[in-house]
Structure 1
């Protein structure tokens, strides 16, 4: 059985929502670990095998992987019947992978740099800026309620995730705001949030 190393209300929460959406709560073992938080609290946990002490980290037999986009791809490929991915041969497989890599390689760095107030011509040339991210999301959502069209997938889960905890970063565009609301209103999000709150409450 795969094991997901997780810390409440962290980047790994996205994976908990995916597991809930896919109906895999009894097929993925969770191991809750401590991590160093942005405010300096917490710290490394010796139970966490992630080489940098971060989450998420998925161990499946002798295989292991980090990075949300990679884990999302791995789980949606392993359990294609759950319908949250685009398996090999799907006509939207390329678009699915493109969005996941875009998030990891462009969108999240842009969000972090924008939050930190960092700006430089090299950064803009490499990653673009929030205006470019907004334009790309808006163009995709002009074709349907979700990034791949009519169907909600792991792409929507990942790319909407930062806006659930950083509402101040939400672009002032109706299509994007409505998409984020649709993603946040998923029953899986409510279920995971309730469990995370209960965990923190002790």
Structure 2
């Protein structure tokens, strides 16, 4: 059975939600991590080399980074229909959105939130407004990133807006997408499991 190392109210909460959505048989082991407020700390039982989460162990396979774990799990549990498998229509768009999130969206959102700007960032990653344009050009024509149906790409790409609600763009199509994604019952169950306030 795969094992997910998870710390409540962290990036790994996205993977807990995915496991719920997939109906996957995955053991979830809670570990501590260092927190921005100075609480927590590295957990010696966490096998991640940097003591981060999420970290997935499945026999001899070990995975870190949410995008990689998402592809692995949606491929392992294809019957849930949360990600096109290799050779299926939409696979390219699915992988593109997952990698766009890891390589562009998350860094741009963190830089924007921290109010850090530099021409090198804008030249390589672009800026927050450009990221919003990329989302809008898709979501103004369809309800989800891959079309008519929710996927794990939506789960990942909307995840920062659970934490940074003040950064949700004013674009109505994006706001409606965030509302659809964050309103899913699995997200509420993860929040309850994690002990999220409110």
| TM-score above 0.5 | yes
Question: In structure 2, what is the Cα distance between the partners aligned to 1:188 and 1:168?
Answer: 22
Tell me the equivalent position of 2:104.
Answer: 106
For 1:13-32, list aligned pairs within 5 A: 13-24=13-24, 27-32=25-30
Using the TM superposition, give the Cα deviation of residue 91 of structure 1 relative to its aligned residue in structure 2, in angstroms: 1.2
- How big is each residue's C-alpha offset from its partner over 1:128-174, in whole Å with a ceiling of 9 and x where there is no partner? 01111100000111221001110100000000000011101111110
Using the TM superposition, give the Cα deviation of residue 192 of structure 1 relative to its aligned residue in structure 2, in angstroms: 1.2
Tell me the equivalent position of 1:85.
Answer: 83
Tell me the equivalent position of 2:160.
Answer: 162
Tell me the equivalent position of 1:4.
Answer: 4
Tell me the equivalent position of 1:152.
Answer: 150
Question: In structure 1, what is the Cα distance between the partners aligned to 2:23 and 2:77?
Answer: 10
Tell me whether 141-150 or 65-74 shows the greater mean CA deviation: 141-150
SS at match of 1:4: strand
Question: In structure 1, what is the Cα distance between the partners aligned to 2:71 and 2:141?
Answer: 23
Using the TM superposition, give the Cα deviation of residue 186 of structure 1 relative to its aligned residue in structure 2, in angstroms: 0.3
Question: In structure 1, what is the Cα distance between the partners aligned to 2:32 and 2:193?
Answer: 17
Tell me the equivalent position of 1:36.
Answer: 34
Tell me the equivalent position of 1:179.
Answer: 177
Question: In structure 2, what is the Cα distance between the partners aligned to 1:98 and 1:39?
Answer: 34
SS at match of 1:132: helix
How many residue pairs match? The answer is 197
Question: In structure 2, what is the Cα distance between the partners aligned to 1:191 and 1:113?
Answer: 30
Using the TM superposition, give the Cα deviation of residue 82 of structure 1 relative to its aligned residue in structure 2, in angstroms: 1.1
Tell me the equivalent position of 1:69.
Answer: 67
For 1:101-140, list aligned pairs within 5 A: 101-140=99-138
- Structure 2 residue runs of 5 or longer lacking an equivalent are none
What TM-score comes out, normalization by structure 2 length? 0.97
- Structure 1 residue runs of 5 or longer lacking an equivalent are none
